[in-house]
């Protein structure tokens, strides 16, 4: 695991995930490690409270000077900007500011990838 706490201090922008909660609230979470694991397990960096989520649903990984979304191969579908990501383990898609990640579950969480202050354009 690579710790990214100093990413802002080395001239790069700080990455964030803005979590759009099912109740409409927003939660800003800095991406502080690579891989940054997202799922329902309490040992994930970002815990999403939904029994339909796998313990480890997906990862955000730092590759060179970019960030990528990586599918863990779980059975729960993952969508990036409305396009389904193949469910094979290790499938990656590069993330751009304001990219929206959604899931094929009954609870409508959305994640928005951002930099710096976490400001998002998505509603």
Long-range contacts of 33-36 (CB under 8 A, 24+ apart): 33/1, 33/2, 33/3, 33/4, 34/1, 34/2, 34/4, 34/60, 34/61, 34/62, 35/1, 35/59, 35/60, 35/61, 35/70, 36/60, 36/61
Please check the confidence at residue 119 and state whether its pLDDT lies above 60.
Answer: no
Q: What value does the mean pLDDT take over residues 17-26?
A: 91
The confidence score (pLDDT) of residue 121 equals 55
Average pLDDT, the chain: 83
Helix, strand, coil in percent for the chain, rounding step 5: 5, 40, 55
Over its C-alpha atoms, the chain yields an Rg (Å, rounded) of: 13
DSSP structure class, residue 9: G
């Amino acid at each position: 695991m690579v710790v990214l706490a100093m990413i802002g201090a080395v001239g790069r922008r700080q990455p964030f995930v803005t979590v759009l909660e099912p109740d409409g609230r927003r939660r800003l979470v800095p991406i502080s490690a690579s891989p940054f694991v997202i799922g329902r397990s309490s040992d994930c960096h970002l815990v999403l409270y939904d029994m339909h989520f796998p313990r480890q649903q997906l990862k955000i990984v730092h590759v060179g000077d970019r960030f990528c979304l990586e599918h863990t191969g779980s059975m729960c579908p993952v969508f990036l900007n409305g396009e389904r990501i193949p469910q094979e383990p290790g499938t990656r898609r590069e993330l751009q500011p304001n990219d929206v990640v959604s899931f094929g579950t009954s609870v409508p969480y959305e994640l928005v990838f951002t930099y710096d202050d976490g400001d998002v354009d998505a509603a």
